[in-house]
Amino acid sequence: GQTVSSYYERGHDFADLLTRVHAVEGLARIRFTSPYPNDFSNRLLDTLASLPRLGRHLHLPVQSGSTRILRDMRRGYTADAYYDLIDRTRARLPGWALTTDIIVGYPGETDEDFEATMELVRRVRFDAAFMFRYSEREGTLAARKRPDDVPDDVKRERLQAVIALQESISKARNEAMVGQDVEVLVAGTGRRNPEQMFGRSSCFRTT
């Protein structure tokens, strides 16, 4: 996967790289994806806050709200550490949109593990999320050592539940933007109506 925040080359880290890219003339907006939660230092957050041409959107993949599942995935952080990152991010980057990735039905996931994920979604209130059912991927640790033991119907139910929860949160967060003026970077014209334009706001909302 992409872990751009792990970048390090000849004494320069990802914060330095972003600062150098930001100095390039003619760039209207700069986006990056996807950072890894473990690599997010306060220095990096302060750097993001200092660069006005960065898109005000951060994708922070969590995968699960259960520390037990996160450890089994070898993610390298706990649910509490992720909550702390969210708190630090919102303190330093007010108004930024936060999105994430979530997997349900990981091998061994119990009802309690899944409820921890639902609680995380309720507490963090992401702007949007990419949500998936677990499926075996050849060559991964989970495929080699963990039986795919969560029944498909349970995976489907859990996925539908977390999607419904996140959709209700996304709807509320989008409705809170109604009436606000936002800067939009135009990406093209509509297929049905070429006189209509579409693009993304700095918080990565389609407009």
Q: For 84-107, what is each residue's pLDDT tens digit? A: 999 999 999 999 999 999 999 999
Cα torsion angle, 9, 57, 106, 84, sign: positive
157 Cβ partners below 8 Å, 6+ apart?
none
Compare 182 and 161 and report the one with higher pLDDT. 161
Q: Which domains does the chain have, with CATH numbers?
A: 4-181 (3.80.30.20), 182-207 (no CATH)
Report the mean per-residue pLDDT for the chain: 91
Each residue's pLDDT tens digit, 173-197: 989 889 888 888 788 888 888 888 8
CA distance 79 to 85: 10
Residue pair 100/59 in contact by the 8 Å Cβ criterion: yes
CA distance 32 to 58: 8
62: which residues sit within 8 A by CB, 6+ positions away?
37, 82, 100, 101, 102, 120
What are the residues whose beta carbons fall under 8 Å from the beta carbon of 21, sequence distance 6 or more?
Answer: 27, 30
CA 156, CA 128: separation in Å to the nearest integer? 19
Comparing 25-34, 68-77, 100-109, the range with the smallest average pLDDT is 25-34
What does the pLDDT read at residue 136?
80
Return the SS3 of 107: coil
Separation CA 100–CA 89 (nearest Å):
14
Decide: residue 37, CB within 10 A, 0-12 exposed, 13-18 middle, 19+ buried. Answer: buried
Closest residue by Cα to residue 29 from 207, 206, 192, 184: 184
